[in-house]
Amino acid sequence: MSSLLAVLDAVERESAAVELRARSYELLGDLTGQTVVDAGCGSGRAVAELAERGAHAVGVDHDPEVIAVARERWPAGEFHVGDACELPLETGSVTYYRADKVLHMLDDPARAVAEARRVLAPGGRAVLLGQDWDMIAIDSDEPEATRRLVHAKADSLPSPRVARRYRNLLLDAGFTDPVVEVHTAVFTDDTALALLRRITDEESWLAEQAERARANRIFVVVPMFLVAAQG
């Protein structure tokens, strides 16, 4: 858990990630005095940032360990252990819903989006953010092995290609007026190597990437899909 959190923390501190989170907050709307649920909140950084923008932010995550970390890091925040498909919230009790890099971990993402619709008050707004695991681009001298490893990682996840479905999932759940943006996260430092170690433990392939990192030649691109819609 500590190694995963270290990688996530490093990614979240990247300027592109900071800007993308800020954009997701903008797409929600005026946050002042509004209740926002961050489903799959992880260690709680977004909850803290939403609160700084004047929202009553509520973080929900299924993992008790990361919720414990979130409570320790952000003691003023409100955090709950809970399932994205069964949020511990009353129907119509929140103005905004946000899910960041969550739906690819679910067997039934459509159920989670329907749950978002349930907890939103009339006129509420939802934002979905995440990567398509089949679309990660990696510069390598072994393109065939790279394709194999990227697809193998994707196939190990419950819903690896759900990000390309965000718009349709929201429409299917009754949301309207979707806004779709695609942002590109580019990694050219040690964070890139840490990300690649989350994709595979194949040492011969990683050795080339480690050498690229030492020579300032590592290059990893992750398209991030951002979709907002009205409830």
Q: Which domains are delineated in the chain?
A: 2-133+158-185+223-230 (3.40.50.150)
Residue 145 has a pLDDT of 97
Enter the DSSP assignment of 67.
Answer: H
pLDDT at 13: 80
DSSP letters, 85-145, are: TB-SS-TT-EEEEEEES-GGG-S-HHHHHHHHHHHEEEEEEEEEEEE-TT--EE--S-HHH
Q: Global pTM?
A: 0.92
8 A C-beta contact, residue 70 and residue 47? yes
Say if strands 78-81 and 94-100 run parallel, antiparallel, or are unpaired.
unpaired
Asked if 39 and 63 count as a contact pair (C-beta separation under 8 A), the reply is no
CA 173: distance to chain centroid?
20
The H or E element that residue 230 is part of is: strand 220-230
Residue 3: the pLDDT is: 64
Residue 10: per-residue pLDDT: 73
Position 1 scores a pLDDT of 60
**Is residue 3 classed exposed, middle or buried when 0-12, 13-18 and 19+ CB atoms within 10 A define those classes?**
exposed
CA–CA distances in Å: residue 4 to residues 1, 9, 155, 198, 227: 5, 9, 20, 8, 26
Q: Which residues of the chain have pLDDT under 70?
A: 1-4, 7
Biggest distance spanned by C-alpha atoms of the chain: 54
Q: What pLDDT score was predicted for residue 103?
A: 98
- State residue 105's pLDDT score: 96
